[in-house]
Amino acid sequence: KAGVTQTPRYLIKTRGQQVTLSCSPISGHRSVSWYQQTPGQGLQFLFEYFSETQRNKGNFPGRFSGRQFSNSRSEMNVSTLELGDSALYLCASSIRGQGAGNTIYFGEGSWLTVV
Amino acid sequence: TQLLEQSPQFLSIQEGENLTVYCNSSSVFSSLQWYRQEPGEGPVLLVTVVTGGEVKKLKRLTFQFGDARKDSSLHITAAQTGDTGLYLCAGEAAGNKLTFGGGTRVLVKP
């Protein structure tokens, strides 16, 4: 059974640009969550999608957005990139969603560097 | 905002020694999870504890959930170099949101 796949693995962008990251969940998983991981702030929750609907949202500015497709694949987009957006972006999938004792499975992440 | 504080932030020990990592909060969580993350990879779930006072053992790892479900600890007995990694605790709060602690970086030296 394939795990959570994130693309691209590494990318470098310039301030002001926008970026789109992709996540393919484990087959059969309908929930996809996105997290930002930085050395200073740790792992912070961005948003969760379940059956194409955003179910939960963290405390990030509107420049961070996401969506989920009918096949459960998800994308997140960051517009007007800032240096502080440099981070590892992790996607996690689960059958029913985070919480309630459900197991979530993380991908290897997308390393974004903003210069 | 519910915060989870992990201590220590960094731990360096010799192979064969024991170690304990703590995860504390002033908030009550319905469940708490522990993850290990190795360089270049995403976090991998080690255990979920749900009941206050619960103790779970996974080989040389012992996880405990506090009676009040506000804190947890991870104890590793006779650490091995393969235990090196970033250990993260995550608490489940209302609305099924997971809050992660800042992590404890463990280095086990041969």
The three-state DSSP-derived secondary structure of A3-29 is: CCEEECCEEEECCCCCEEEEEECCCCC
Mean pLDDT of chain A: 92
How much is the average pLDDT of A3-10?
96
- Cα–Cα distance for residue pair A22/A44, rounded to 1 Å: 18
Q: How close B47 gets to chain A, by Cα (Å)?
A: 9
pLDDT confidence bin for A22, thresholds 50/70/90? very high
What confidence score (pLDDT) does residue B105 get? Answer: 96
| CA atoms of A30 and A41, how far apart (whole Å) | 28
CB-based contact A100 B96, cutoff 8 Å: yes
- Give the per-residue SS3 of A32-79: EEEEEEECCCEEEEEEEEECCEEEEECCCCCCEEEEECCCCCEEEEEC
Give residue A104's pLDDT: 85
pLDDT of residue A98: 64
| B33 CA to centre of own chain | 7
Distance CA B100, CA A37 (A): 10
Quick one: closest CA in B to A39, which residue?
B102
Q: How far is A109 from chain B (nearest CA, A)?
A: 6
Query: Would an 8 Å CB–CB cutoff place A39 in contact with chain B?
Result: no
Considering chain A, what percentage of its residues have pLDDT values greater than 90?
Answer: 83
Q: Do B97 and A97 touch (CB under 8 A)?
A: no
Statement: residue A83 has pLDDT above 70: yes
Which band of pLDDT confidence, cut at 50, 70 and 90, is reported for residue B96?
low
Q: What's the rounded mean pLDDT across residues A16-28? A: 97
How far is it, in rounded angstroms, from Cα B15 to Cα A4? Answer: 32
- The whole-number pLDDT of residue A99 equals 60
Conformation bin of residue B85: beta by default, left when phi > 0, alpha when psi is -120 to 50: left
Q: Model confidence at B2, in pLDDT bands (50, 70, 90)?
A: low
Task: Provide the 10 A C-beta neighbour count for residue A33.
Answer: 29
Q: Is A108 part of the contact surface with chain B (CB cutoff 8 Å)?
A: yes
What is d(CA B3, CA A102) in angstroms, rounded to the nearest whole number?
Answer: 21
What is residue A78's predicted lDDT score, i.e. its pLDDT? 98
Q: Rounded mean pLDDT of chain B?
A: 92
* Residue B98 Cα, gap to closest chain A Cα (Å): 6
Contact A105 B98 (CB under 8 A): no
Task: Point out the residue among B31, B93, B100 whose CB comes nearest to the CB of A43.
Answer: B100
Q: Please indicate if any CB of chain A lies within 8 Å of the CB of B24.
A: no
Query: φ, ψ for residue A23 (rounded to 5)?
Result: -140, 125
So what's the pLDDT on residue A12? Answer: 98
At A100, the pLDDT band (50, 70, 90 cuts) reads: low
Tell me which amino acid residue A11 is.
L
What is the pLDDT averaged over residues A63-79? 97
Residue B1: the pLDDT is 55
Alpha-carbon span B30 to A8, nearest angstrom: 35
Q: Which residues contact A41 (CB under 8 A, 6 or more apart)?
A: none
Q: Is the pLDDT of residue B3 over 90?
A: no
- Residue A43: exposed, middle, or buried by beta-carbon count in 10 A (0-12, 13-18, 19+)? buried
Q: Do A97 and B31 touch (CB under 8 A)?
A: no
B91 touches chain A (CB under 8 A): no
pLDDT in tens, B11-65: 999 999 999 999 999 988 888 999 999 988 899 999 999 899 999 999 999 999 9
CB contact under 8 A, A99 and B97: yes
* Cβ–Cβ under 8 Å, residues B7 and B22: yes
Q: Which of B45, B88, B95 sits opposite A43 (nearest CB)?
A: B88
